[in-house]
Structures are given as C-alpha cells and as structure tokens.
Structure 1
C-alpha cells in the first residue's frame, strides 16, 4: 500500500480510483462516466485492430471490410464490437448529459467540466460522422460525404472552393484517405479531452453533485471498494447487453443500404445518418436555408452551454423544482420526437413538425428554463413570506 502513496504515477491513480471520496448517497446514475470510459477503450482497441486490415481506397474499401468479416480470424467480432459500441457510446452520452441537466451538474463550480464535456460531444460526433464513411457503402457515401460536403459548402464565399480544392468534384482516394486519417486520430484527441474532463471533475470533488442537490461534504466514502464495486456491476450489465447486440442482432441498428457497395450514380431512396445523429439532422433539415440550417445544427449542440447562465434557480438540480422538472421531461420528449423526424422523408407534415420541434428545442434553453426558474424563485419567496406572516 505504501507504493500507492509514494510512486508518482501510482499516487495519481490512487487519488482518482481508490482514495477519492464521494458523497455516500450517489446512485447508479453516476455510473455513466465509467461506462463511457469502457466504451472509449473498446473503440480505440477495436479501431486500431480494424485499421490493420482496412484499405482506404475507393476500389478496395468495401471489399476490405468484407475481407475483415469473412477471412480475418474473429474479424466479424471486432467489426461488430466497433459498430455496436459506437451506438452504445452515444446512448450512454445522452443519458450522461440528461443526468447532468437533471441534477444541475453544469452549475458553478463545475462549469469548466460541463464546457469540456460539450467539446467531447462535438468531437465524438465528428469522429462518428467520419467513421460512418469508412465502410464505403451506399449510405456511407451519400449520408457521409454528401452531408459533410454540404456543410462545408454552406460557408459563405469560400465554402465551395474549399470543397473543390480538397476533394475535387467527386469522391476519390484522397477524400477517403483524409476522412479515415481524421477518424483514426480523433479518438486519441477524445481520450485526451476525457482525461481533462476527469481532472477538472477531480479538482471540484468537494462540490460533487448528488441526488439531493445539497452539499455532500458531510457524509463521504472512499471510491474503493464501495463505488468501484458499484461501477463493476453496471460494467458487467453493459457487457451483457452489448453481447446480445453483437452476437444476436449485430445489424439491427445499421442501415441496409450500407451493405451495398457505394455507387455515386445511384441515390438511395432516403439519405439518413446513424440514429444518434438524427435529432440534429432533423434540425438541419427543418430550416430551408442551407447556411442557417448548418448554423442551427451546430447551435443545437452548443445550446447546452447556455444552461449555467439560463438556470437562475436557487437550488441545484431539479429534484425539488416541479415546474422545471416538467420542462425537462417535455424537452426529453421533444428530443425523441426530433430523433423520429430525422428518419422521415422531407415532406408534409414532417416538415412542419420538425420546425415546431426545432423552435421548442431552442426555446427550452433561451426562454423556458430562465422563465420557469424565475417563476419558481418568486413562488418560493411568496411562500416564505406567507410562512413568516403566519408565525407572527
């Protein structure tokens, strides 16, 4: 045990994973961080393994994936682990963000932790978007390259020139190589950001959030063995659920069009990204102007950065704030509606529903949260004054 305290590296590990104290009442909702760390490790290990056999060439990319699936020992397992863990990664990230919003994890002094988390979300989406292009199937080509090209070309004055100078007028080997190189490098950037996220979290450990939203400094327990064992329980459950997808329904979350080799001359019936990008894709499509749509899509991701400013409530979290709690569940329901609309054809009535849901999405951060917080503060003041008057 002495070496854990004296060795420079082990001392750091000990301070994070063994001696770090946490509020005794935190629930399993605080386990998403460890699950996301497991996902990141799985993605990096399987991604590096796949890169050893993948050929980023427009003529060979699709065949190299088939080679991995059919000829490489356990290549199918590595590929299905990589693709299904990507979906699990985003599912857990959305739950992690939702838990952070509900329990007010964005409030001071954890604003920096929240900001780094937002950057991590953006880098994750960029990594997933670029990785979706790698198999070079029909949906990879049209949903990946075409969407990315449209995003860049929306930049005023220079957008179209940048697209043509970097990729020419069509998809070629240079395009595929650049996308694959970025997809390979970004997970390591993601790991560095995750470490920064953890360091910022550790520096504010004294203000750790908990289900009651009150100070947790009075009743704390060391991370090991209590919370370490708690994390292992959810990790085992996660591995079990992931195994069900990998072994029994590995293609359930994929698009059938992506199992056909890319053909630039044939447009798929519907161009859609992966399910975890659908809400932001729905926001992009809900605005007729391309530039404004791109701005709205990126703003939808960055909108969560408004919460530390927008939430002016006196108590941390929504546990004892019924009006804000209702607003939160309406926001979650609207997010799920956007996810459904992103997979629909661009036609009436889905266009109108998408525009209404987009307005409601941004209104939550800009108007609803500040207004409801102010209303709750006023009601608390009135209740306090009534109680004070009754005691007199």
Structure 2
C-alpha cells in the first residue's frame, strides 16, 4: 500500500540531490506521507519501539566493545573495569544487558499482537517469515552476548548449548569442534562468540530493512484485519498521526527501560555470573536468560537428546509456518470468538513454559512441561487448522470505515 509522493524539494541543494539520489523523497514517502490505517491501536507502536531498541543495543554495544577484552584470563576483569573505571561504564553495561531483555519483551509483544490480529495472513506471508528470521537472529545474538562476561553462568550456558550440536548424527561432533574452535569452551570460543556477537546486529539491521520494505509493499494490517479500500477515507499520513502515537508508546517503554536499568539493574540477571568462570565447578542449576526459557523447557521436556534438539528448533520454525497452518478466511481475532479463547490458552502455555524452564527438570515440573509442550505443538498443528474450518462463515466488517462507524451506505455497514 503506497501513496502518491507529495515531496517537493524546497532548496536548490535539495533539488540537486533529489535528481541524483532521491533519498529525501524516499524518506518523505516512507515516513511522512506513507498512509497508515486510522484505526491502529497502541500495540502497533512496538515496531518503532523495536527500531529504537535495535539502535540502542548497537550504540551501547559498540562503546562497550571498545573496552572489552575477548580473552579468557582478561574478559571477566575487563567487565569489572567497565563497571568501575570507565566513565558511565556501569550505565552502558546495565543499559546493554537490560536492553536485551527489553528488546525481547517488545518483540514478544509484537509477535503475539501479530498472532492475534492475523498479521501473518495473505498477502503478508514474507513479512511474517522475515520477522521470524529476525527473531532467530536475535536469539543467536543474545546467546552469544550472554557468554561474553565470562562468569559462571556464561561459561556453563555456552557449554550446555554448544553441546546440543553433538546430537546431530554423523557430523554433530565436527560441527561442535568447529564452533568451539577446539574440544571445549575456551579462548577460541570466546573470540569467535565476540566476533559473531558484534557482526549479527548488523545482519539484523539488513533483515529489518527487508522487513520494513515488505511492510511498505503490502501495507500495514489493522485491528479489523480488513484491507484498506479507500485511502482517503480509511488512512492518515504516517506523520504526524502515527509518529505521535509511536512517540507516546516509546516514552512509556523507555520509562520502564530506565527504571529497570537504574533501579533494579540485576533483576533479570543471575548472581552466579558475578563469579568468574571456573570449568571445574558446575553451578547447581544452569538457567539461560528469561527470554530463552520457554524453548529451554521444551528441550528439557524430552529425554532423548536428538529429539529434544529437533523439538527446540521446530518450536521456533513452526511459527514461520503459521500463514499456512491457520486457514481461516477471517483475519483478526476480534471477529473470531473461538480463536480468541484458544489464543489466550496459547499465551498461558507460552508463559507457563517460561516459568517451568527456570525450574529444575524433575518431578511435577517435568510432567507439567511435557503437557504444555504437547499443547504448544497441537495448537499449531491441530487447533488452528480445525478453527480455520469452523470459522469459514464468520462475519467481519466490510471496510475499516464501517468498523469505525463511518459507513456512508448500508452496503458498507458491518455484517449482522
């Protein structure tokens, strides 16, 4: 969905540049005159919030990299040097560490919003898949960054996760050795993880560019799930309407981010990571960061290592297949009563898996994790296809204007 360009260069330099590199016109069409549905709610502000968090993570990460030493005997001390000796180093380190948590919080809200309002449905399949790719790259970047402080939890998390690749038949041990740069987590591992942690955010930026491009081709979804039919009546320019709403959402989110960074900076961390890595002492309970916990619970719920690894990756990849698993012609959950109930069951299951991932893999916790894991996959493979067949004849608004009560004729009014 694109609008007609209204950009007119006002200075001689702008006209000269526009004829040779129309970047000002591109910015104007993409972020000023771009038409957005007028019924978007504040859940649509998380796109801007995620863009801000990506920039914040890159900026703080680059400055931290200037003071970090990726060497096993110096890495832990270099973090202490940043915290104690570098001007505002403690703020940069806490902002970067908590920024990862806030980044994942925003992306989970973004994903669940897309699931509820059907933002993965035709014609936005590629947009959705690119979003899942970004999510996977974020997970890889977050894991690599968690290893860099070289504390106890960092070291043993790296040992546990890299050891998963040994489950791959025939080539697993070779892949693990190549990934570690040796036969155990050591100096070569830390160097490789640091290099990849520095590189991947820029790969994410490139994929985000494709994500935004795909968004501008298909247009934004909206709470009704109905495509824009009348640009004049059903949309408003991105600036100032969407930008002001994004600004309000961003201020609230940054306020929460600042509170976490300055008042409870270690809330999402683990105290064992303030102990320097010791290969001879295993922590009693190894847990990853909170944003990995649902998938960690799925991994531990299966006793067979290879099947557990397959289930771990399948639990992420199955989200990319959502456009084809949900066959309902009604896009938005607002107009799908049965879907709405099962959606909240799925949210409960996802949060429950996150809680169980932080608990010991034994007793009632293990049984509960297996039950929730079973529903997790059944939701995608059974529940959504059945709901799609059941909801084929559900009514929905014929237009965004009708949903807003702006219908001019009876034909434009919502179905009864």
The TM-score bracket by the shorter chain reads over 0.9
**Pair 1:39 & 2:39 matched:** no
**Pair 1:173 & 2:200 matched:** no
**Pair 1:163 & 2:169 matched:** no
Instruction: Please list, as runs of the form range in 1=range in 2, the aligned pairs for 1:37-186 lying within 5 A after superposition.
Output: 37-143=51-157, 145-165=158-178, 166-186=180-200
Q: Give me the whole-angstrom Cα distance separating, in 1, the residues matched to 2:394 and 2:200.
A: 48
Q: Give me the whole-angstrom Cα distance separating, in 1, the residues matched to 2:237 and 2:138.
A: 31
**Pair 1:213 & 2:219 matched:** no
Q: Give me the whole-angstrom Cα distance separating, in 2, the residues matched to 1:11 and 1:112.
A: 26
**1:249-268 CA-partner distances (Å, limit 9, x unpaired):** 10011011111111110010
Give the TM-score taking structure 2 as reference length: 0.88
Residue aligned with 1:217, SS: coil
Q: Gaps (5+ residues) in structure 1?
A: 381-392
Residue aligned with 2:265, SS: coil
Residue aligned with 2:236, SS: strand
**Conservation of the 8 A alpha-carbon contact between 1:23 and 1:217:** no
Residue aligned with 1:349, SS: helix
Residue aligned with 2:239, SS: helix
Residue aligned with 2:216, SS: helix
Greater alpha carbon shift after TM alignment, 330-339 vs 350-359: 350-359
Q: Give me the whole-angstrom Cα distance separating, in 1, the residues matched to 2:311 and 2:332.
A: 27
**Pair 1:2 & 2:8 matched:** yes
**Pair 1:288 & 2:300 matched:** no
Shift of 1:159: 1.1
Q: Give me the whole-angstrom Cα distance separating, in 1, the residues matched to 2:288 and 2:282.
A: 14
Residue aligned with 1:2, SS: coil
**Residue 316 of structure 1: aligned partner:** 331
Residue aligned with 2:333, SS: coil
Shift of 1:315: 1.2
**Conservation of the 8 A alpha-carbon contact between 1:278 and 1:340:** yes
Q: Give me the whole-angstrom Cα distance separating, in 2, the residues matched to 1:212 and 1:164.
A: 51
Q: Give me the whole-angstrom Cα distance separating, in 1, the residues matched to 2:331 and 2:367.
A: 36
Instruction: Please list, as runs of the form range in 1=range in 2, the aligned pairs for 1:137-286 lying within 5 A after superposition.
Output: 137-143=151-157, 145-165=158-178, 166-205=180-219, 208-218=220-230, 219-286=234-301
**1:268-309 CA-partner distances (Å, limit 9, x unpaired):** 010110000000000000111111111100110111122211
Shift of 1:12: 1.3
Q: Give me the whole-angstrom Cα distance separating, in 2, the residues matched to 1:318 and 1:215.
A: 15
**Pair 1:302 & 2:317 matched:** yes
Q: Gaps (5+ residues) in structure 2?
A: 1-6, 396-416
Q: Give me the whole-angstrom Cα distance separating, in 1, the residues matched to 2:312 and 2:175.
A: 20
**Of 10, 14, 18, which aligns to 2:32?**
18
Q: How many residues align?
A: 377
Residue aligned with 2:61, SS: helix
